[in-house]
Structure 1
Amino acid sequence: MRSYFILLVLTICCNIMHTQAQGRLVGQVRFADGEPAISAIVQLKELQAHAVTNVDGAFVLDALPYGSYTLEIASVESEPKQLELAVNTDRVALEVVLDRSVHALNEVVVSGQSVRNRIETQGFSVAAVETKDVAFQSVQANEMLDRTAGVRIRQGGGLGSRVDYNINGMSGNAVRVFIDGVPLANYGSSFSLSSIPPAMIERVEVYKGVVPAHLSDDALGGAINMVLRKEGRNSLSTSYSFGSFNTHQWNLNGSYRHDKSGFVLRGSGFYNYSDNNYKVWGDKVYVTGSDGKINYVEAERFHDRYRSGGLTLDAGFSEVDWADLFLVGLVRSAGDKQLQHGATMETVYGNRFSEQDNTLGKLSYQKTDLFTEGLDVVLNASYSRRARVLIDTVAHIYNWLGTPVDLNGDGQWDQWASGAEGGQATMAEAPESRYSLRSTVRYLFWRQHSLSFNYLRSHFTRRPDDPLRPQAERQFQDVRRLDKDVYGLTLESAWGNDGRFLSSLFYKHYQQHIALEEPLKEEGVLRAFHYSKSNREGGFGAAFSYKLWPRLTLMTSAEKAVRLPEHNEVFGNDAENIDSAYELKPERSLNANLGFYLGRLSWGPHRLYLQGNLFYRETRDMIRQAIASQHAETFAFENQDEVLSKGFDAELGYDYARHLNAVVGVSSFNARFNKRYDQHGAQYIYYGDRLRNEPFFTINTQVNYHLHDGLQPHSRTTFSVNWAYVHEFYRDWASLGGANKAMVPTQSLVDVGITHQMSDKRLALSLDAKNIFNQQAFDNWALQKPGRAFYVKITYTLL
């Protein structure tokens, strides 16, 4: 794989470096008060090449022959300005300061919507998380999401550990994750939101509860769609981060486009490594002496190393007659993870680990006005093969000091009676193959009204094997299959001449077939066990938004949603200590949202926005992780009957003169068990209890201060502080047990950072300190996360 990696990197670099005979002008236009000059026209007089500044006042002019030019800038808010400049390097950075015009233009109103604002005001409860402010920091995409109102990321440990996404109280596979609309499961766990650096991501869209049909999946509790950067012109950048627990993270991104032919080549790569040897302590971290006495210790995790790497290469054409975009791509990723303990920290492992290798081929096609005006087509297809191995062959018993145990003092290390740390000795192989086809056909049939058809077909096959199993068992076929089809039909309309009222009506139909064949031993006799099951469900919904005033938008949405069991829940996953649960039923839920978006309000140097959302979820047969027993090494999933969840999330943002900005997000998810009687007519003891092992109140606060021209001309230094609060919650039902019930304690964590961009905008340096007060941090009961940690990151833009 290493030689393959080097070859791809060299290919990307060589293709991009071939174009360096021309220069690139990267600039920003702002007013003297710090406000960006939006929609200003920037033109090189001699070449008649022009660009329009974006919402940040930034612009780019590519493919400029070396020479001297006159740059003209025109804005409705200022007098025209001319500058003389020379393009004599491959990249020229420029910052232009305009003086506002003294002429009153009260009769002229220039308005527009950013991509983020447009997404967040379509009627669905959705947050668009942009990465530009954290791309230079040592921050993962999951950390960005965790700072979003209504979203809670629950991680079982350090880098590479299992992650669950919670959106307004709905979690697990009820929340679907996509990369550019393609289900994340196709990529394998080594290519995920934990491993992909923010520099590769343009934005992350978070749909809360009601999910539009264009994502074409059974996302009952919400969806997360990660939109990767798609540089339209030549670019090349890289970054490297180093920090606590011997953590290293590197990435490279490059793109090339030939203007005449439209040929596009894009590539990226990343590598992650961490020993994850942070310290843990508490009532689950102890050693037992030869006298049987328990001694609690502060121990270092000694068997939790994580490594992952990945490459993606896309080639095709953009902005040609027959396609807006046509790409054929290849994704390669691999990783390995040492396993420190079972489902809780009670049982310590010293030799158990897992490996995986994933290859994915993909094809993307987009075209507007195909065959006729108003007919748009999007097609994404992928096929992947994943090899996953779990290795557990050593039976020695370890303690939290990282040494084998010899309790009886006979000079022999104690061993697990089962033959290995997690059960029977295993070298289990689980080769998996998947294919996915997702298509959208949209037709604008009358003015501002369109009809869309969406289809998702996905297939999953796993053929597990274990060389350590008896040969008699291996002779039986062992295969698991899961097929899913999702159909969606959407009618979208904009009403009125100004389009201030938007509506979206949609219907979804789901089909799933599960098949299993495996060896089963009954009374000492082996036989083939066959199991199959089919599910057919339907759902529908609507979303509306109304722009009451230019700055105030009201939104509401509702859906009868369905979520089918996923392969990991049904078939289990040994590497993640998950048992199978074949009889899981689909989840069904009635979801509703009512929200508003106010902003951005401006007065002088101040800007303010406020958005809020009330939600209602009435869910039947909710699929959730069963609570593992005190000494359990594995867990399974189960249906939780009826759950009623009500709550709200709100976000307030403030900006002062583009120097100081702050965001405060508050979320409350009041999810309660709502089934009163069991099948025998007896009332459940925990009827009306909050949902167990689930956070219900969070606060996230971010404050950034930007210092322009502070350390050097045209440079930018950013100081940041983040505070995250999660209120304590019970591990099990509140009505069960007496005093001293197991709880996940209150979390109050503070991160700080400083980032400096040099004057030429090529080089950026950052220093980040996480959990600076070294608080004991948990997302899940008895699974401690890292304490205080420091990271340094350098980012360099070559093109």
Structure 2
Amino acid sequence: MNSFCYSTKNDNLMSLSGKVSYKNGSPVEMALVYIKKLNKSTYTDENGNFIFSDVPAGIYSVFIKTFETEGITIKVDLSKKSDHLSVVLKNDQGIALDDVMVVSKSKGKLIKEKGYAIDVVNTQEMAIQNLQSTELLNRTSGVKIRQSGGLGSHTHFNLNGLTGNSVRIFIDGIPIRNYGESFSLSSIPPAMIERIETYKGVLPAALSEDALGGGINIVLKKNIGTHLTASYSFGSFNTHQVNIDAGYRNPETNFNVDVSTFYNSTDNNYEVWGDNVYVIDPNTGKVEYVRAERFHDAYKSKGLKANIGYTSKNWADEITLGLMISDMDNDIQTGPTMDIVYGNRRSKLDSKMASLKYSKNDILFKGLSANTFTSFSHTNRMVIDTMSVMYNWLGDIIRDDEGNPINWQSNGGEAGDATLENNKEVNVANRTNISYQFHPQHKIGVHYFFNRFTRDVNDPLRPQSIQDLSDTRYLTKQIASVTYESNFLDEKLKANLFYKYYKQHVKLLDRIREDNEIKSLINENDIDFNGYGLALSYAVSPKITLLTSAEKAVRMPGDSELLGNTSGGIEPTYDLLPENSNNFNLGFLLGTYILNKHSFNLEANYFIRDISDLIIRGISNSISDTYGYENLGKVKSSGFDAELKYNYDNRFFVATNFSNFNARYNLRYDENGSKYGHYGDRLRNTPYLTSNTYIEYKFSKLFKENSKFSVNYNFGYTHEFFRNWESYASTGKAYIPTQAIHDFGASYTAPNNKITLSFNAKNITDEQVFDNWAMQKPGRSFYIKLTYRPIF
């Protein structure tokens, strides 16, 4: 039976919520709650709460079970009003698997069965560990996180060989750039996240964005019922992290309030060494290589996010007003490479965002559904660089033989002209999806995305006559798409066909230096493209599914690529072309197979990317240590990734994945007919072979009855890769060495389930870890975390 087919004649929608707990009062996490008549299921959250928000009026049997209990069935009457259940389960019964476990499917599983190549990271179990959200994502097959340093450093995402803005990042389906850099995967703790969805190559039209290599959608946790979770973490490099999440829900009126806040602080004073870490005697020119602490890399960020609204009303399934404020203060230790050291340069950022979300099924008549999300955000991004003295890696000011400080330039800063530049950025966005289920097996949808970005630049250190040569930068993007979904052969064959139309308008007035004279440049550009794609899945059996998807993908240049970003050392590049690619995926899902107490599943995906005008980061300027972006012509990439998961007795878990891709420069001749020397080379500065293995064992009753204790180990491997094109410089080629990282962790939860204490040791062998043009990342580090979750 399809989830959209109801036998009841009453079209009034009710809600069913509840809390599941054990006899000792502790909440039950990940308990299955299943309404057989509607073929609807969900799982309880970390506080034992669950909710169904769109249940037609009627009488139902609700089945509830966990791995540790036999399961119970409760009858509920939703004929006239919504209901809230309080369910108490025994916790002394053996494990019993029921057929209903196979019927129930997670959100990620349902998306996969539509044919998309997707990985889903559930963060509930990992939230109690001392892990960043970027670390969890980095363990996903086909994903490599590229960071330029420690906590708070700039982050790029490499997905099947494509990196940077080619991979789009979303928070609840909204582009992450609308939230501001201070509210990002580097700052959002896993405790605020329900799951992370990684789409490889083909992006569903409902997300309504231009993306070349896929996208990553961060689904924030939407806790149900009255709850409170607080955590504090302390560790190496004077790192402090605080997270508090609290909420209230009125079961009678379905009024919801949810508030989350976070605070991050670190000195990032980890040790660095190697070819780029040296001290030069200004008088003799002698070079001395040293091991040094990063001395100017402190980072602080904090944020508050609140959602207020209603669910399960006659006029709305959900209506939520969201408010978010965040800010960041970040010292800048180096430019895009480690060749130049800064001692005073830093950046500040603050962001405010208001949003309104509305969704309703059967809005005008049966089968017609709509949801819309509108946001307005304002961001101030300031760069502070007013002192021009030169520093070395020991944190000392470089002086001449008379003891006077050596300056980069007179009346300048460390990275160029002295600046207090403030970028005022405004983002207005709307995403609207309308769908119509006109037949139990067929559904059509229309999706629209609008984004208006403006940036005003003000620098009080520049003469007004120079500032007058710059004007507001405008970037307007519109994406419209149409989708058709269908299923055949008793839902064994599922098809998703889509068409996308992209339009972007850029307008700016900027200053340029020409013949030693500063002039004004007017730049205005319109781009429009068409894209289309298809995703198919076929269930050979209940436990074997074949998947394939293809898309003509387009990604238009972003605001930082076109307009630059002073705080990131990015120069503007106004003439960038859109990048486009023909993407293809072929894969399968196997499992879950269960044999006695053993269970396992296997997923694999093969991909091809045929790319034109790929936008990549250019080589850094050797003097200013800044960089711009450039189109790369043609690139062809192919490869595969696979992931195996094993579970024994719900105690011993192993998840291992392997990713390999072969991305080569595929343009043989330039416009003059000369052959490129790097034709056929692998993409420069791009890892191409990675692997990750996570192992965890859970002990029961190790210290006390009803207590929980677990230990875990993670191994991450990245094969060596060249910084530049491998054909150039036959000897002494600069490369990023092979990296094998070992992490260890342990967690203990008290019998009352209120307090969890966890410990993590990262990079325990103190491996020298590099990324992004040989930027060194932290070595060995230790962290301890306390999590408190009272029971209401």
TM-score (norm 2): 0.90
| CA distance in 1: counterparts of 2:327 and 2:68, whole angstroms | 53
| CA distance in 2: counterparts of 1:116 and 1:462, whole angstroms | 37
1:431 equivalent in alignment to 2:414: no
Flag the 1:617–1:272 CA change in 2: closer, same or farther, 3 A: same
Equivalent position to 2:660, from 647, 661, 668: 668
Hey, what does 2:298 align to over in structure 1? 305
Hey, what does 2:21 align to over in structure 1? 26
Flag the 1:521–1:682 CA change in 2: closer, same or farther, 3 A: closer
Equivalent position to 1:413, from 397, 405, 418: 405
| CA distance in 1: counterparts of 2:371 and 2:583, whole angstroms | 28
| CA distance in 2: counterparts of 1:229 and 1:762, whole angstroms | 19
Runs (5+) with no aligned partner, structure 2 = 1-17, 52-61, 74-85
1:624 equivalent in alignment to 2:616: yes
| CA distance in 2: counterparts of 1:606 and 1:759, whole angstroms | 27
1:493 equivalent in alignment to 2:486: yes
Flag the 1:182–1:137 CA change in 2: closer, same or farther, 3 A: same
Equivalent position to 1:381, from 366, 374, 378: 374
Task: Give matches, 1:367-406, under 5 Å.
Answer: 367-406=360-399
1:784 equivalent in alignment to 2:776: yes
Flag the 1:685–1:167 CA change in 2: closer, same or farther, 3 A: same
Whether contact under 8 Å (1:41, 1:75) holds in the other structure is no
SS at 1:98's partner residue? coil
1:444 equivalent in alignment to 2:422: no
Hey, what does 2:502 align to over in structure 1? 510
1:653 equivalent in alignment to 2:664: no
Q: Specify the code of the residue in structure 1 equivalent to 2:460.
A: P
Please report how far the alpha carbon of residue 474 of structure 1 lies from its aligned counterpart in structure 2 after TM superposition.
2.1
1:314 equivalent in alignment to 2:307: yes
| CA distance in 2: counterparts of 1:81 and 1:575, whole angstroms | 58
Hey, what does 2:451 align to over in structure 1? 458
1:613 equivalent in alignment to 2:605: yes
1:323-368 Cα deviation digits (max 9, x unpaired): 1110111100001110001121111000000001101010000111
Whether contact under 8 Å (2:254, 2:310) holds in the other structure is yes
1:566 equivalent in alignment to 2:558: yes
1:559-611 Cα deviation digits (max 9, x unpaired): 00000000000011010111110000000100000000001111011101000
| CA distance in 2: counterparts of 1:359 and 1:604, whole angstroms | 53
Moved more, 370-379 or 616-625: 370-379
Q: Specify the code of the residue in structure 1 equivalent to 2:620.
A: A
Flag the 1:99–1:417 CA change in 2: closer, same or farther, 3 A: closer
1:210-238 Cα deviation digits (max 9, x unpaired): 11100000011110000011112111111
Please report how far the alpha carbon of residue 79 of structure 1 lies from its aligned counterpart in structure 2 after TM superposition.
7.3
| CA distance in 1: counterparts of 2:174 and 2:730, whole angstroms | 47
1:261 equivalent in alignment to 2:256: no
Whether contact under 8 Å (2:41, 2:105) holds in the other structure is no
Q: Specify the code of the residue in structure 2 equivalent to 1:682.
A: S
Flag the 1:582–1:259 CA change in 2: closer, same or farther, 3 A: same
Please report how far the alpha carbon of residue 781 of structure 1 lies from its aligned counterpart in structure 2 after TM superposition.
2.6
SS at 2:413's partner residue? coil
Hey, what does 2:227 align to over in structure 1? 235
Whether contact under 8 Å (1:120, 1:128) holds in the other structure is no
Hey, what does 2:725 align to over in structure 1? 733
Whether contact under 8 Å (2:198, 2:217) holds in the other structure is yes
Hey, what does 1:48 align to over in structure 2? none
Task: Give matches, 1:242-391, under 5 Å.
Answer: 242-289=234-281, 290-391=283-384
Equivalent position to 2:680, from 675, 688, 691: 688
Q: Identity over the aligned pairs, expressed in percent?
A: 43
Hey, what does 1:97 align to over in structure 2? 92
Flag the 1:259–1:468 CA change in 2: closer, same or farther, 3 A: same
Please report how far the alpha carbon of residue 520 of structure 1 lies from its aligned counterpart in structure 2 after TM superposition.
3.6
TM-score (norm 1): 0.89
1:263-299 Cα deviation digits (max 9, x unpaired): 1111110010010000000011011123221111100
| CA distance in 1: counterparts of 2:414 and 2:522, whole angstroms | 30
Flag the 1:100–1:659 CA change in 2: closer, same or farther, 3 A: closer
SS at 1:464's partner residue? strand
Equivalent position to 1:198, from 171, 190, 199: 190
Query: How many residues of Structure 1 are paired with residues of Structure 2 in the alignment?
Result: 747
| CA distance in 2: counterparts of 1:679 and 1:625, whole angstroms | 22
1:96-140 Cα deviation digits (max 9, x unpaired): 233578xx999x996322223222222010011100221101111
| CA distance in 2: counterparts of 1:209 and 1:678, whole angstroms | 28
Whether contact under 8 Å (1:36, 1:57) holds in the other structure is yes
Hey, what does 2:475 align to over in structure 1? 482
Please report how far the alpha carbon of residue 710 of structure 1 lies from its aligned counterpart in structure 2 after TM superposition.
1.4
Whether contact under 8 Å (2:450, 2:479) holds in the other structure is yes
Moved more, 676-685 or 634-643: 676-685
| CA distance in 2: counterparts of 1:741 and 1:269, whole angstroms | 46
| CA distance in 1: counterparts of 2:439 and 2:526, whole angstroms | 39
Please report how far the alpha carbon of residue 685 of structure 1 lies from its aligned counterpart in structure 2 after TM superposition.
1.0
Please report how far the alpha carbon of residue 155 of structure 1 lies from its aligned counterpart in structure 2 after TM superposition.
0.3
SS at 1:735's partner residue? coil
Whether contact under 8 Å (1:93, 1:761) holds in the other structure is no
SS at 2:458's partner residue? coil
Whether contact under 8 Å (1:35, 1:657) holds in the other structure is no
1:599 equivalent in alignment to 2:591: yes
Q: Specify the code of the residue in structure 2 equivalent to 1:274.
A: T
1:121-178 Cα deviation digits (max 9, x unpaired): 2201001110022110111111111000011100000011110001100111010001
Task: Give matches, 1:690-769, under 5 Å.
Answer: 690-769=682-761
Please report how far the alpha carbon of residue 92 of structure 1 lies from its aligned counterpart in structure 2 after TM superposition.
11
Whether contact under 8 Å (1:558, 1:593) holds in the other structure is yes
Please report how far the alpha carbon of residue 760 of structure 1 lies from its aligned counterpart in structure 2 after TM superposition.
1.8
Flag the 1:304–1:544 CA change in 2: closer, same or farther, 3 A: same
SS at 1:185's partner residue? helix
| CA distance in 1: counterparts of 2:298 and 2:231, whole angstroms | 22
Whether contact under 8 Å (1:154, 1:164) holds in the other structure is yes
Whether contact under 8 Å (1:728, 1:744) holds in the other structure is yes
1:453-500 Cα deviation digits (max 9, x unpaired): 11000011111111111222123342211000000110011113x311
Task: Give matches, 1:627-638, under 5 Å.
Answer: 627-628=619-620, 633-638=625-630
| CA distance in 2: counterparts of 1:643 and 1:133, whole angstroms | 39
Task: Give matches, 1:511-526, under 5 Å.
Answer: 511-523=503-515, 525-526=517-518
Flag the 1:281–1:600 CA change in 2: closer, same or farther, 3 A: same
1:164 equivalent in alignment to 2:156: yes
Please report how far the alpha carbon of residue 716 of structure 1 lies from its aligned counterpart in structure 2 after TM superposition.
1.4
SS at 1:173's partner residue? helix
Q: Specify the code of the residue in structure 2 equivalent to 1:363.
A: L
Hey, what does 2:58 align to over in structure 1? none
Please report how far the alpha carbon of residue 56 of structure 1 lies from its aligned counterpart in structure 2 after TM superposition.
10
1:207 equivalent in alignment to 2:207: no
Hey, what does 1:10 align to over in structure 2? none
| CA distance in 2: counterparts of 1:375 and 1:484, whole angstroms | 27
Whether contact under 8 Å (1:41, 1:73) holds in the other structure is no
Q: Specify the code of the residue in structure 2 equivalent to 1:197.
A: P
Flag the 1:36–1:348 CA change in 2: closer, same or farther, 3 A: closer
| CA distance in 2: counterparts of 1:61 and 1:592, whole angstroms | 38
Flag the 1:307–1:39 CA change in 2: closer, same or farther, 3 A: closer
Hey, what does 2:10 align to over in structure 1? none
Whether contact under 8 Å (1:41, 1:53) holds in the other structure is no
SS at 1:248's partner residue? strand
